[in-house]
Structure 1
């Protein structure tokens, strides 16, 4: 097999396709982060008085645990958004989709599923 014919990077059109996927995932992630943040600041965000009493009667430990879980989810969303922003940077400098371990192109299917990845499946499986 002749390695000269092997692609070393994705074309501008392919990069644009990935950029659109990433931008949509970022939009959704930011919406989710906003919802999580709002639920932290107002426990009765649904606006009904029926649940206000219920919320107040929750045990403190339970309420604290719920708040902790929401904080963890929010932190995860922030990290996900940062990773997507980094991926946009790699698209900008045309290094997107290149495995940082093997130097080969990451399969399109993997990038569509996990658009912020920097590892091919081959490299990811070696890590495990």
Structure 2
């Protein structure tokens, strides 16, 4: 008799992935707070006030910080979605192939929804 292929991760494995995601989420939120503090500080400083058209450095820095903050917000959303998939016990299932994503990939990119094979064939 052949063993059935695993169709989902065990509760123990899901707990391991949840711990990884929780740690990444805490770090991402901390980083987002840093960017938000930087933006607030720049806005409230004399340098943040309009000084003329000849100095775009402050604007470029501000735009870059906004970009980084937005990227962190997206990462946080992806990680929160991964926690929902864990809660629903569908975490780690490739949305293209329906097969389990390798645990190694999930440890590196815990919010992924694609296996390496599916990602390479996109």
What's the TM-score, normalizing by structure 1? 0.84
Q: Name the count of aligned residue pairs.
A: 116
Counterpart of 2:84 in structure 1 is 89
- 2:96 match: secondary structure: coil
Counterpart of 1:103 in structure 2 is 98
- 2:56 match: secondary structure: helix
Alpha-carbon shift at residue 5 of structure 1 (Å): 2.2
Alpha-carbon shift at residue 83 of structure 1 (Å): 0.3
The Cα RMSD (Å) is 1.9
Counterpart of 1:20 in structure 2 is 19
Counterpart of 1:30 in structure 2 is 29
Runs of 4+ in 1 over 3 A off after TM superposition: none
What's the TM-score, normalizing by structure 2? 0.88
Counterpart of 1:47 in structure 2 is none
Long gaps (5+) in structure 1? 44-51
Query: Which whole-Å CA distance do the structure 1 matches of 2:68 and 2:104 have between them?
Result: 26
